[in-house]
């Protein structure tokens, strides 16, 4: 298995988070509608040639607050933190 870059890992974790949110019956629709655009924003911020670390951290923090009640997503976001640009 080839080593993945930090950016590839973040993008994979974002995609898994997006899928888990979409499929979850326990997450209210309002939360789904609030978090999907945040995941898209985080994806775009991380893919920039010169990532805006402050915006990335702020977006990630908002996602963590919104999804803290959902253990699987909380774990994905925690793992994501290890690969975010600093």
Q: Where are the domains of the chain?
A: 6-81
Q: What pTM did the predictor assign?
A: 0.91
Alpha-carbon distance of 32 to 3, in angstroms, equals 32
DSSP 51: -
Per-residue pLDDT of the chain (86 residues; tens, 9 = 90+): 568 899 999 999 999 999 999 999 999 999 999 999 999 999 999 999 999 999 999 999 999 999 999 999 999 999 999 999 88
- The CA-atom distances, in angstroms, between 57 and each of 3, 13, 30 are 24, 15, 23
């Amino acid at each position: 298995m080839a080593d993945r870059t930090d950016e590839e890992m973040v993008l994979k974790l974002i995609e898994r988070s997006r899928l888990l949110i979409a499929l979850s019956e326990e997450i209210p629709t309002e939360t789904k509608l609030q978090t999907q655009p945040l995941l898209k924003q985080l994806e775009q911020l991380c893919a920039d040639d010169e990532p805006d670390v402050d915006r990335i951290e702020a977006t990630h923090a908002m996602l963590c607050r919104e999804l803290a009640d959902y253990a699987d997503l909380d774990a994905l976001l925690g793992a994501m933190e290890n690969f975010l640009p600093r």
